[in-house]
Amino acid sequence: MKLLALIILFCNLIYPFDDRILTKINKLKNLVETSNGLKKLEYYVDLLEYLVKTKPNKALLEKDIILSLSDSLKEQLFKPKIYLSIGKIYDIYNTYDTVLINYRKGLQIAEYIRDSLSIANFWVQIGKIHTSIGEFDTALTYFDKALEIADRNNYNKVKALSFNYLGIINYFTNNLTEAEELTLKGLALSEKENFYKGKSLANEHLCIIKIKQKKFQEALNYNNNSYKISLENDDIVNIPAVFYNFSIIYNLLGEYDKAIEYSFKALDIEKSFNNSKGQANEFVMIGRILQNKGDFDGSKKYLHKAYEIYKELKSLRHLIFVLRALSSAYEITGNYKTSSTLLQRTYNI
């Protein structure tokens, strides 16, 4: 218990609440409060973008104020950036319908003011959402649109992100060679442009490719790169995904205590964001690790926690997954009746 308390304290100090981030937020807030007109809106947009990657739950509180200010100034030029940030907030919380609504609002304005860079960025982000929900053919059409604009205008950052997400589609469809080639292409462009998000994302994606190839040391190297880049650029929202990958690797290596440590670190950050689904995902990971470790009671405890969250969120795909994991845990401990009941629930969802 003392170790767990220290881990939680460490995460609270270093990640969402560290001094550098709070100083930057306060500086941006001061600029907003001491400015007027378009300058005030410009600083507000900068604040929103920074909160999205450091404190998305706080960004949610600011979004309507910024939209209202933009409306009062009858200003359209900043609207695409605002809606892009709002969409990213909801993406963090996996509320994909709301994400797409905001992206499409922003896209409509970007098209009206003929902002080609914003149009391309919206195509990429919409493609990303369709990738996340498994609609790969639809996603491909959006990435193609983004790349067409990017090629005409030399938008290398847009191309880098597109290649990264195209790599992920190939990963999900078990074309690992193509996945790796596309991701490395995205990484090269990101390094050329010194584009931190592209570099971080590419390293994270290369990590999961190497995990699937069972090249765990290479996976660790790529994940460490992503972690370092994320920290250096205050991209706190990306760190739970990095820690999740560490948990997967150490779980597969049989280093269960280290795997659980990373899961609790990720869990603490998700709690600071009030991200219920993120917490549920970490509960599932902890349950799986404890099952591998032979702690079946502990495994069931965390899987039940995940189940309750997924049930409240009506996340059917995740409910099926966690019910199967729970069924397996009860079967291993000889409780075949409960195992069968849980498995039967998956057929009724």
The pair of structure tokens assigned to 224 is: 């460490």
Residue 51 maps to a domain: no
Q: Which residue range forms the structural domain that includes residue 145?
A: 115-234
Q: Is the pLDDT of residue 12 over 80?
A: no
Compute the 3-state secondary structure of the chain and give helix, strand, coil in percent, each to the nearest 5. 85, 0, 15
Residue 337 maps to a domain: no
Angle ∠(201,307,300) on CA atoms, nearest 5: 100
Mean pLDDT of 56-76: 95
Tell me, what's the pLDDT at 268?
A: 97
Q: Is the pLDDT of residue 5 over 90?
A: no
Q: Is the pLDDT of residue 208 over 70?
A: yes
Residue 126 maps to a domain: yes
Q: What is the pLDDT of residues 40-51, one digit of tens each?
A: 999 999 999 999
φ, ψ dihedrals at 54, nearest 5°: -120, -40
pLDDT band, residue 186 (cuts 50/70/90)? very high
Helices (H), 154-238: 156-172, 176-193, 196-212, 216-232
pLDDT band, residue 66 (cuts 50/70/90)? very high
Backbone torsion region of residue 135, taken as left when φ is above 0, otherwise alpha when ψ lies between -120 and 50, otherwise beta: beta
Q: Identify the residue with better confidence: 314 or 123.
A: 123
Q: What is the CATH number of the domain that holds 135?
A: 1.25.40.10
Q: Is the pLDDT of residue 110 over 90?
A: yes
Residue 185 maps to a domain: yes
Q: Identify the residue with better confidence: 162 or 94.
A: 162
Number of domains in the chain: 1
Residue 141 maps to a domain: yes
Angle ∠(332,333,337) on CA atoms, nearest 5: 90
List of E strands, 23-146:
none
Tell me, what's the pLDDT at 314?
A: 87
pTM of the shown model: 0.91
Helix (H) or strand (E) holding 88: helix 79-92
Residue 143 maps to a domain: yes
pLDDT band, residue 2 (cuts 50/70/90)? very low
Q: Identify the residue with better confidence: 346 or 258.
A: 258
Tell me, what's the pLDDT at 179?
A: 98
Cβ–Cβ contacts within 10 Å for residue 320, how many?
15
Residue 144 maps to a domain: yes
**Which stretch of 9-13, 98-102, 264-268 has the lowest confidence by average pLDDT?**
9-13
Q: What is the pLDDT of residues 325-335, one digit of tens each?
A: 999 989 999 99
CA distance 208 to 196: 19
**Which stretch of 9-23, 310-324, 335-349 has the lowest confidence by average pLDDT?**
9-23
pLDDT more than 90, % of the chain:
89
Q: Is the pLDDT of residue 235 over 50?
A: yes
CA distance 118 to 125: 10
Per the prediction, the chain carries an average pLDDT of 93
Question: How deeply is 104 buried, as exposed, middle or buried, from its count of CB atoms within 10 A (0-12, 13-18, 19+)?
Answer: middle
Mean pLDDT of 314-327: 91
pLDDT band, residue 317 (cuts 50/70/90)? confident
Eight-state DSSP code of residue 238: G
Residue 43 maps to a domain: no
